[in-house]
Amino acid sequence: MSDHLLILRHSGDFYTKARKTRLRFQMRLARNIEDALVSHGIPYRLEKTWSRFYLETPDLRAIDVLTRVFGLQSVSLAEPRPWTVMDDIVAHGVDVFAESVRGRTFAVRASRRGSVERIPFDSMDVERALGRALLDAGAGRVRLDDPEATAWVEVEPGEPGAPGNAHFFREKARSWGGLPISVEGRAVALVSGGFDSAVASWLMLKRGVELDYVFCNLGGTAHRLGVLKVMKVIADLWSYGSHPRLYEIDFQPVAAELRETTKAQNWQIVLKRQMVRAAEMIALRTRRLGMVTGEAIGQVSSQTLQNLAVISHAARDLPVLRPLLGFNKEEILALARRMGVYDLASAVGEYCDMVQRHPNTRARPHEIERDEAGLDPRLLKELVATRTVWRLRDLSPEALGPSDLEADHIPEGATLLDLRPAQAWKAWHYPGSLRLDFPQALEAYPSFDRGRPYVLVCEVGLKSAALAEKMQQAGFRAWHFVGGIRDLMALAEKEKKVDLSLLAPAVRE
C-alpha cells in the first residue's frame, strides 16, 4: 500500500509565541503525535517544518487519531505535485478537483508558503486561473461564501534550479487547537465519573496541562468501575503524550464521620472540602501545580459563589482551577458527547447519600470550621496513604468488565426494592416493587429477611449498586438492576407489564 501525505497545521496559539517557546511547543507536539500513532499501531514518517508538519502513512485512521491531538488545528489529506510554471499547477488542479466540483458551486483557496519571493505569481493568480479552468471543465459556478466544494492549493518553491511542490486537498479535518499536553505543567483533577469533572479535565488537557486524577469513592465497586470507564476514554483518546494515573481514595469512612460529627445542612460543603484536602495531599506528593474541579457557579447548592469560596479555602498551598465556572449544563453535555463519554458518564451519574432537603447555600467559614473541629485529621491522612493507583492506559478490558453485583432480570421470588424518591416511584414503578429512600435503606438493610434474594434499582444504577455491595458483604443475596430505571422499564415492556407509549415523556425519560 502506498503512503498518503497528511498536512498537520499547528494551533493558532503557536503563532503568538516567542521563537524559543514555539520551538519547545513544536518538540512536545511532535512527541505527542508520535505517541498517538504508536498507540494505535499506525506506521508513519513525520517531517517537521516551522509552520506545519507533514506526515506520510499508509493508514488513513491517522486522520481521526490526529484530530484528537491537542496543539493541532487541522489535518488534510493532500496530493503533492511538482510544478515549474503556474500552468503546471492549474493542470494538476483540474486533474485533482474536476470530478469533485462538477455541477457544484465551488471556491479555490490558494496560498504560498516558504520563500514566497521565489514564486513568480501570487495566490490570487492561482485562484483565478484554476477557477477558470475548473469552470471550463464542468464546475457549476463560483461561490466564495459557503461553497459546496472547495479546492485547496498550497504552493511551495523548490530549491534553485529544481521544481517546486504544490499540495492539493479537498478538506480540512478540524482538530481542537489548544496547546500540546504538558507544555503548561502538571496538575491533578478531582473526578466523580459524571459529566462535569470529565469535561473540566478535557478542557485543561486542551490547554496543555498534563493531568493525573483523584477519585474519592463513595459508592464502592460499581462507582469505581463507572469512573474507570469514563477516565479510560479520556486517557486513551485525549491524553496522547502522557500516561495518566487515577488515585482512588475510599471516602466512605469520611462520609460516615461527617454524619456523626457535623450538621446535616453542611454535609456537602464539608465533604467537598475534605475532597479538596485529599487532592492537595496527592498533588503535593506528586509535585503538581494545582487541582482541577468540575464546579460551575450556581449549578447545585454547594456551587454558589459563597460556597465555592469556602470550599477553596480548604486548599492551603495550591490553586483550585475551575474551567467550567461560566458554563451552562447544556454546553457541558454537548462537549461530553463530542468527547465520547456521554453515555458512560450518564450511567455513572452523581453518587452521594448525603444530599439534604435544605442544604446550606451561603456557608460561612467560621461555622464550617466549627463543624470540622470534630473531625479526626488522622483519618484523611490514613485514607490518602492507603490509596489505590490505577494506570489508566494500561487497564485491560477485563478490569472494566461487569461485576457480580449486576442483574438484568428479576429472579423468581426476589424482592425488588426501588430506591428512588416517592414522587418518581408513584409516577411509575415495576409491579410488586417496594420503595425506600436510599438513606433509609442504608440504615434498614441489616434487619431485612436474609432468607430471600433482593434486586435493587435506582435512577441510573449507582446507588443501587452501592447498597447491593454492602448487602453482599453482610451475607445477603443481593444484586442491583444494571442500567437503572430506564432499563427496568424496557424489561417491563418486554414482559408486557407496561406500555411505555402510555406514560408521560417525563416519566419515560
Catalytic residues: 458
Question: How many Å apart are CA 134 and CA 392, to the nearest integer?
Answer: 51
Q: Are 202 and 238 in contact (CB under 8 A)?
A: yes
H runs (alpha helix) in 263-364: 267-285, 305-312, 329-339, 342-348
Q: How many residues does the chain have?
A: 509
Distances (CA, A) of 339 to 231, 233, 239, 331, 335: 11, 8, 12, 12, 6
Phi, psi for 204 (deg, rounded to 5)? -75, -35
**DSSP three-state, residue 294:** coil
Question: How many Å apart are CA 108 and CA 80, to the nearest integer?
Answer: 17
Question: How many Å apart are CA 445 and CA 365, to the nearest integer?
Answer: 36
**DSSP three-state, residue 253:** helix
Question: How many Å apart are CA 191 and CA 213, to the nearest integer?
Answer: 7
Closest-CA residue to 89 (of 117, 57, 122): 122
Q: Are 178 and 208 in contact (CB under 8 A)?
A: yes
**Location of C-alpha cell 464546579:** 295
Closest-CA residue to 460 (of 147, 185, 195): 195
Closest-CA residue to 245 (of 396, 394, 400, 392): 392
Adjacency order of strands within the sheet including 478-481 = 406-407, 478-481, 454-457, 415-418, 434-435
In the numeric block, which cell numbers belong to residue 245? 494515573
In the numeric block, which cell numbers belong to residue 93? 488542479
Beta strands of 428-502 (E only): which ranges?
434-435, 454-457, 478-481
Question: How many Å apart are CA 471 and CA 469, to the nearest integer?
Answer: 5
Burial (Cβ within 10 Å: 0-12, 13-18, ≥19) of residue 413: exposed
